Structure 1
Amino acid sequence: MPIFISHTTKDDLLARKVYSRLKIVHSIDCYIDDMDKELENNRGKSSLTPILVDRLRKCDTLLVVVTENTKESWWVPFEIGTAREMPRVISSFTPLLDHSSYSWEKKIPEYLLEWPRLRSDSDIDTFAYEYKQKQILLEYGAMKMDGIRANASDVRQFESSLMKTLNQRNF
């Protein structure tokens, strides 16, 4: 299943950078909404929400691009909430600092501290490695268990493992 890359339009360039790294360097399928013609044709219509939810349902992971621009987005928080309830693995790619940092610089919203935070190409590479390992386990597990997919505890276990690998903690 692909990775859903959530972002605000003002961060298209950064989102495409993350997309390219995952798709080209790691051969991981990704979904990014600005490449979806059906979604584009439904912008400003009530049909947009069910299409977006369907796209997220077809993905097993949400990777959220978070910058100062995200504050202006209505859709990014919606996608995060929807992914959390499905449940889906959630991680963020952000230049923003954690709240534990002793700095006056911009900080990531507290609710995103629950999940892994990627900040560099190296972190994306680590994420990609862990993601591929999870995919192998899910495929093996799905064959062994007649198609039963991951549940909330499997999702949280992946996120915890990735955070440990990235030397992060949730607050």
Structure 2
Amino acid sequence: MIGKNLANPSIDNNVNKSFNASVQKSQVCIFLSYTSEDRNTVKKIGEYIQDAGFDIYLDIYDESLQRAVSQGDPIAITKNIEKGLSVSTNVFCIVSEKTVGSWWVPYEIGFGKRADKPLATLTLKDTITIPSYLEITRIIRGTRSLNDYLNELSKKSNLLFESASTFIGKNPYSMSQHPLDNYLSWKE
């Protein structure tokens, strides 16, 4: 079972309808928080998470949000970010050295914290420091700990457990070429 991006209108024009169907299936939806400079890397990580069977909310496919960004409308941007966060069960920050300059990532983490959503941070390859506000999240460093995290999430969702376990089993830590090698280290 491959997960879907709830921000993608080609999946379903009504995000809340898709989310409600996911909730009824005990599905996890992971909001991907990131700085725009890391967009291409985040797309690859999002695809990997979807391949493991999880739904994601990756805002680059949210037409309403992209329109608000192009119009420079901070009220609409905020409304759309909050919509994405509210339909997600978990907040997952993908962080690089560039994240320090982001204005929206701290907002997304704060909104998720206030809504009591589980928070996690994945550090990209060669990331040495992370902003202090991310220290309140679960820190994930590397592919191995990402797989462990996804496996833990799958155990909380009955329908996902078999799918994610099978996917992660096919992507062992010792693979000579992992799809995220260019973005993550093998640490932890």
- Global fold match (TM > 0.5): yes
Question: What's 2:100 paired with?
Answer: 71
Q: Which amino acid aligns with 2:114?
A: E
Asked if residue 110 in structure 1 is aligned to residue 125 in structure 2, the reply is: no
Matches of 1:114 and 1:136, distance apart in 2: 28
Question: What's 1:40 paired with?
Answer: 66
Q: Following TM superposition, by how much is the alpha carbon of 1:33 offset from its aligned partner in structure 2, in angstroms? A: 0.8
SS in 2 for 1:42: helix
Q: Following TM superposition, by how much is the alpha carbon of 1:136 offset from its aligned partner in structure 2, in angstroms? A: 3.2
Contact 2:29 2:87 in 1 (8 A): yes
SS in 1 for 2:121: strand
Question: What's 1:134 paired with?
Answer: 156
TM-score, normalised via structure 2 length: 0.64
Question: What's 2:36 paired with?
Answer: 9
TM-score, normalised via structure 1 length: 0.70
Asked if residue 91 in structure 1 is aligned to residue 91 in structure 2, the reply is: no
Match of 2:91 among 55, 62, 65: 62
Matches of 2:102 and 2:133, distance apart in 1: 16
Contact 1:96 1:108 in 2 (8 A): no
Contact 2:106 2:133 in 1 (8 A): no
Q: Following TM superposition, by how much is the alpha carbon of 1:96 offset from its aligned partner in structure 2, in angstroms? A: 7.5
Q: Percent identity?
A: 26
Task: Flag as ranges the 4+ runs of structure 1 deviating above 4 A.
Answer: none
Corresponding pairs, count: 131
Contact 1:66 1:96 in 2 (8 A): no
